[in-house]
Structure 1
Amino acid sequence: MKAVIFDFDGTLADTLPVCFYAFQSVFKEFDGIEIDSDKIKAMFGPSETGIIRNNLLNKNYEEAIELYYKKYSEKHLELVANNKEINDLLEYLKTDGLLLGIVTGKARRSLDISLKILEMNNLFDVIVTGDDVKMPKPHPEGINKVLQQLNINSSEAIFIGDSDADIQAGIDANVYTLGVQWLESFQTSDFTIKPKQVFKSINKFKQFMIGNSSTIPCTFDD
């Protein structure tokens, strides 16, 4: 194993609450409607700008996008906790010599806000955002881009995500794919597309990596 590739929202950071808040603010301000988190989840796939352009009735897209980023930034500290277990995991993986990547549907701008506030700026070797692909997850384009940029084969990486779209993308990229439900907010409570394993504990995954960082096993237990 040479690399660990992560989804971001709901996997590396509990950012879903601030995403929901920002989208709800946009739809209330521009369309005059209240929208719940389940309806927002159903829009996930494109970046935030794509979601707004695809779903907002009001055509003032640029103003709406700016409001999204304003709300996302101003509420981030309040709604997104800095997770020590995640930070320790990433530091361990780096120290162990593994390359780290992110494949996210988020736009680069919102990801940069989160990485800066959560002090993750310098941890990742490759980042592919929703701005960098033509086909968002569940298409494997983003994962394939990371593999290409790291110059590794699909057999030399694992991909970790919290949604069915993540799992499908990982499987279609022929990468050993894990599901996680280890943060308070995650996208999929029951994976309809089955990953190799589901981890509900960050520390259990870290212990697995301590024992298996040189190979990707065919099977393993939670």
Structure 2
Amino acid sequence: MTQKVLIFDFDGTLADSRKTLVHIANKLAGEFGFDRVTEDEIIRLSNLSSREIVQQSPIPTYKIPFLLRRVKKELNQEIKKLQPFIGIKETLNSLKSQGFLLGIVTSNIENNVLDFLKSNQLENHFDFIYSGSSLFGKDKIIKKVIQKHQLLTDHIVYIGDETRDIEAAKKSKIKVVAVTWGFNSAHILAQHNPDFLIHQPQELTEIFNTKNIKISVE
């Protein structure tokens, strides 16, 4: 397929879920044996890469998959309260009207994403949703999307808010836009050399209008 494709991360890119996720993490702190997360700690972590965060975590590696499952389950109870970041709806409308195929690849669970989209009248904007349980397995999901939909890698861009999103896009040999309104700071995102680094959702429309990324259908 030669259609232009934009693939979005979910948490921290589309959904403003950070405060909710921090609340859930603190709720589970005693059970999983880690300290409650403070605002200073969030700022510190935002300046670390995804892999550095895991390496410095006081949680034993074998417990992390169990914690992630619990977080996603708890998030299901809060998902309908979450809002998209300011400017996301308008940007998605614009991109859709330009003929882009829009998708979501996330480590969250599909039901959470669907509930969020329905609650915010965004369910008709996306052509596919793929989820996976692995923290660092998004490249495998992206490759699955490429194969299943017979996409061309030079017609795809991935959009995410964490260093692991940049890493996944590069492993998948597609371009990547890093956004600074999510979890990771602009400083650490820039160090991982995304194709573009943006600070507001509206900049996505500007990027693709300038034809700086050659993903238009010939």
| TM-score grouping bracket, smaller chain normalisation | 0.7 to 0.9
Q: Which residue of 2 aligns with 1:90?
A: 92
Q: 1:151 to 1:198 in 2, by over 3 A?
A: same
> Is the 8 Å Cα contact of residues 18 and 76 (structure 1) preserved in structure 2?
no
C-alpha distance in 2 between matches for 1:88 and 1:52: 40
| RCO comparison, higher one (Cα < 8 Å, 6+) | 2
C-alpha distance in 1 between matches for 2:202 and 2:129: 24
Could you tell me which runs of 5 or more consecutive residues in structure 1 were left unpaired when the two chains were aligned.
45-50, 218-222
Cα-to-partner distance string for 1:159-209 (whole Å, 9 max, x where unaligned)? 11111100011011110111111x2x4234322321111011222221222
Secondary structure (helix, strand or coil) at the match of 1:140 reads helix
C-alpha distance in 1 between matches for 2:54 and 2:115: 21
Q: Which residue of 2 aligns with 1:146?
A: 145
RMSD (Å), alpha carbons: 3.4
C-alpha distance in 2 between matches for 1:189 and 1:66: 29
Q: Which residue of 1 aligns with 2:77?
A: 73
Give the drift of 1:20: 1.9
Q: Which residue of 2 aligns with 1:101?
A: 103
Q: Which residue of 2 aligns with 1:186?
A: 183
Give the drift of 1:152: 0.9
Q: How many residues align?
A: 197
Secondary structure (helix, strand or coil) at the match of 2:186 reads coil
> Is the 8 Å Cα contact of residues 159 and 178 (structure 2) preserved in structure 1?
yes
TM superposition score normalised by structure 1: 0.73
Cα-to-partner distance string for 1:129-161 (whole Å, 9 max, x where unaligned)? 124xxx543651111122223321111111111
Cα-to-partner distance string for 1:39-85 (whole Å, 9 max, x where unaligned)? 9x7359xxxxxx997249xxxx69x96786346524752xx334451
Q: Percent identity?
A: 23
TM superposition score normalised by structure 2: 0.74
